[in-house]
Amino acid sequence: MTLARYNFISIEGNIGSGKTSLATRIAHDYNAKLILEQFEENSFLPKFYREPDKYAFPLELSFLAERYEQLKRSLSARDLFKSFTVSDYLIDKSFIFARKNLPEDTFGLYKKLFEIISDSLPKPDLLVYLYLNIDNLMHNIRHRGRSYEQDIKREYLEKIQESYLDFIRQKANMRILVIDTNDLDFVNQPTDYEKILRTISEEYPIGLHRISP
């Protein structure tokens, strides 16, 4: 298997889908440069989960600025000793979450800022979306025990999942791989991890590809 056919792979998914775990393991096993979102350092996040209407706009603006700065810095600095780059988020994640979290008038302003920023960043050669149903997402969130995530409502996860899938359906100019992981435990089961790797290592044309390993 070779994952290095793609210079830049982004692993995405809803909250609790395992994207960080998968990106980290791939980077370790395949000598890839790893870009992880630093969401735990955002002071607005726990406040948002408690009072979403009050803190949605500062949260989304701060995330957009942090993600842009990190991606611009990391992607512009080539590492000759790494085979490829893998991240656990896409800059478009900012747009996806903001579209669901912000009121229409505020989102209009946010959209203008996002378009200016996102156009200056490289797009991944392959976007991998880890699809899990809401029950499994809720189970993973409870199991990993992050205190600030325990207030997340099922309805919120449903909104985010819908927004991700809408985004994916509209991106005809990207190479997107949607992997149904509902029957897989790639964190604890080596055979399931190998299934994911075999799926990602295939060569895909531009467009949307849905796989159930």
Q: How far apart (Å, rounded) are the C-alpha atoms in residues 207 and 173?
A: 6
Q: How far apart (Å, rounded) are the C-alpha atoms in residues 132 and 61?
A: 27
104 is written with which tokens? 């229409």
Q: 49 lies in a domain?
A: yes
Q: Total domain count for the chain?
A: 1
Grouping H, G, I as helix, E, B as strand and the rest as coil, residue 204 is coil
Q: 2 lies in a domain?
A: no
Q: 157 lies in a domain?
A: yes
Q: 51 lies in a domain?
A: yes
CB contact set of 138 (below 8 Å; sequence gap of 6+):
16, 154, 157
54 is written with which tokens? 């009050």
> Residue 26: which CATH number?
3.40.50.300
Q: Which of 88, 92, 119, 125 is catalytic?
A: 88
Q: 3 lies in a domain?
A: no
Predicted confidence at residue 132, as pLDDT, reads 97
Establish whether 88 is a catalytic residue.
yes
Predicted confidence at residue 1, as pLDDT, reads 63
pLDDT of 47-90, one tens digit each?
998 899 999 999 999 999 999 999 999 998 878 889 899 999 99
Q: 1 lies in a domain?
A: no
CB contact set of 30 (below 8 Å; sequence gap of 6+):
3, 4, 83, 84
Are 142 and 150 within 8 A, CB to CB?
yes
- Mean pLDDT per 10-residue section of the chain, whose length is 213 residues: 86 96 96 89 86 93 94 87 94 93 94 93 96 96 83 91 94 94 95 96 96 90
Predicted confidence at residue 79, as pLDDT, reads 81
Structural domain span for residue 64: 8-211
